[in-house]
Structure 1
Amino acid sequence: MAKESRLAASLCIISAARDPAVVERVTRAAVISRDGKNFPQTSVLNVFADHDYNRSVITIVGPLSKLGDPVVSACTEALNLIDLHQHTGVHPCLGAVDLVPVYPLAKDVGLDECGDVAETIGASPYVLNCNVTIDTAEMQVGQRIAASVRASSIGGLPGVQSMALPNKGRIEIACNLLSLPEDCGSAKEVPEDVSTSPACLEARVRELALSEGVSVIGCALVGLTRRQCRALAVKAIAEGIPDYWKLRQVTMM
């Protein structure tokens, strides 16, 4: 079994999902270099594509010193393939490559080191994406609920960043759940090791939705928890599987 030493993850978030061929080519660029060889000691663990958002999240993992090349390769391919003049989607869009945060997975990797690798990309503690869908198409209802659960609001939930977006004719409360510090005692007690668990988030959204006279359709995690990501990274690298996402069910929404 490979050690967890120096592991980090990058979420390559691209403004494409409706053309599976584009998502596939960008993902392959994170695995195979221009000379046709696999990037060493790295793997793509997961690909999550949302049709309404027209946005995909590609999870790339490896030792921090090896992560830069596959990430840059994927970003370059995305910039070559995605035409923002033709792009439509309900999620706010910053560019063909929307975000590329780098997260530490191992305790011996610091945020400052991730920042050095990421340079202008950005580094942050691990973030879990969790979306709760409510049974209404009224954006104002969703915006009120999103504002209520946001950590910056009075009475909001710890570590929650949120916004309301239309999705499949309903409203989705799209949330980032910030991870707890590795040395935080309660991190060991929460399966997802985040400040607010998906279950607590869903319960609070359900309560707020009920006060608005609407119900909750369901809750979905986008990608992997930090623990899942770390465990799968160790497995994929130890077994030499650069395209681990193919062994998992790719989520297309």
Structure 2
Amino acid sequence: MKAASQIKTRQVSVMLLKNKKILIVGGTSGFGKQVALQSLALGAKVSIIGRSKNKLKYFVNEQKSKSYALQGTVLDASEQDQLTAFFSKNNFYDHIISTLGGAMGGGFLDSQLADIRKAIEDKFFVNLQLAQAAVPFINAGGSITFTSGTGGHPSNASGAIVGNQAINTLVKGLALEMKSERKRANAVAPTWSPTGLWRNLTNEQLVQREKEVAAQTPLGRTAHINEVASAYVYLMSNDFITGQVLNVDGGVSAS
């Protein structure tokens, strides 16, 4: 029964995403890259935005060799002028995914004010700026999905948590503001996962961090990137979900 249900779910996703135009902002690595791969496999027409010319070129060429229609654009999505220019030159999209945002450690008292401000800016205001630029270019019935997060504590991840909470509020507001055209807004909230966001850690530090997070997670492990990516695909595929934050955190938010 379980296998049959999984097959049916995949068939529905294929039907709903086939030939859909999907834009992934931050699609050259981590969650964004995996969402691109899963969407391409479901027959979607995928475009990605990334800051690294080399990463983007390699990924696009790799997929073209597999006969997938992947398009790529190099730009800094935190720059409003670049975003405005991009959308003015491109057609409408059915779904837009954003993995924009960083991370930070440190509480409210032991962190520099500038560091807290930057974490909130990178997480919330950059995504708000994207929404203002992108929503007019989403087809009726389409969606925009952001990246929030769970886990951590205000005492050791102050700015990041404020940014995540702001994203959660943003999707609720956008869901109501966009309802006239049946456009949807949601967010995926993973807990810590070993992605490129932590590229500055050594291998030993990465392994240690993963062990620490796994020990605090009800399921006893960290997420696989494809597990988190499938949540974005689900939110694109389900036309009756809006204003929601989907936690993909192994039960961290419940503990």
TM range (shorter): 0.3 to 0.5
Name the TM-score, length of structure 1 as normaliser: 0.33
Higher normalized contact order (CA 8 Å, seq sep 6+, divided by chain length): 1
